Amino acid sequence: MSRIGKLPITVPAGVTVTVKDQEITVKGPKGELTQTVNPAISVEVEGNECKVSRVNDEKQNRAYHGLYRSLIQNMVVGVSEGYKKTLELVGVGYRASNQGQVLELSLGYTHTIYLVLPLEVKVETKSERNQNPIIMLESNDKQLLGQVCAKIRSFRMPEPYKGKGVKFQGEYIRRKAGKSAGK
């Protein structure tokens, strides 16, 4: 049996999990999320626990077992606590600002990049003197938040020579020696 799939999901107070026709809805103080589940997987809610089980031991169904358990767990955590990610802009002249859901990035290109963020993602930018600009993103949907962070990061990936680019706060960038190191 799947090690992750067989673990029960504890549902905190204030969060409700409902299952109807292979669709799971999780409601909590931070919002509501839904997920459609494969027919080979069944979900039962008993009190403050949610259990995921599978019909048989086919390889694909074993993979779905752990997958859907993790997705439901992420939904429960998202509607109760939420997820936060912080991006840091490293480079001379790199700037970030936001007007509502529009993120304005200046990343060393000839033009400014404007990115319209989904309504589910809350954005906040911070620029202090002698500090790298910071973009703080918050959402109850872990997958959507990761996708938005990956999109912002793709505009200027961190490079290994000077470490310039958009990186997650606390991320370690492996540095390479330049041309002069070979002599």
Q: Which of 80, 113, 130 is the last residue of a domain?
A: 80
Q: Are 109 and 165 in contact (CB under 8 A)?
A: no
Estimate to the nearest angstrom the gap between the alpha carbon of 129 and the chain centroid.
Answer: 29
Query: What domain count does the chain have?
Result: 2
Are both 87 and 154 inside the same structural domain? yes
Are both 62 and 106 inside the same structural domain? no
Are both 55 and 92 inside the same structural domain? no
- Structural domain that includes position 112: 83-168
Q: Are 87 and 146 in contact (CB under 8 A)?
A: no
Which residues, 6 or more positions from 7, have their beta carbon under 8 angstroms from its beta carbon? 69
* 102 in a structural domain: yes
Are both 44 and 87 inside the same structural domain? no
* 50 in a structural domain: yes
Are both 58 and 23 inside the same structural domain? yes
How crowded is residue 164: how many other Cβ atoms within 10 Å of its Cβ?
Answer: 18
Asked if pLDDT for residue 1 goes beyond 60, the answer is no
* 176 in a structural domain: no
Which residues, 6 or more positions from 35, have their beta carbon under 8 angstroms from its beta carbon? 23, 24, 26, 68, 71, 72, 75
* 181 in a structural domain: no
* 182 in a structural domain: no
Q: Which of 29, 59, 80 is the last residue of a domain?
A: 80
Say which DSSP state 170 is in: T
Instruction: Report the pLDDT value the prediction gives residue 143, as an integer from 0 to 100.
Output: 95
* 68 in a structural domain: yes
Distances (CA, A) of 145 to 7, 31, 36, 122: 25, 14, 19, 10
Q: Are 175 and 161 in contact (CB under 8 A)?
A: yes
Per residue in 95-139, pLDDT tens?
A: 999 999 999 999 999 999 999 999 999 999 999 999 999 999 999
Residue type, 128: E
pTM, entire model: 0.89
| Residue showing tokens 């330049």 | 178
Instruction: Report the pLDDT value the prediction gives residue 183, as an integer from 0 to 100.
Output: 56
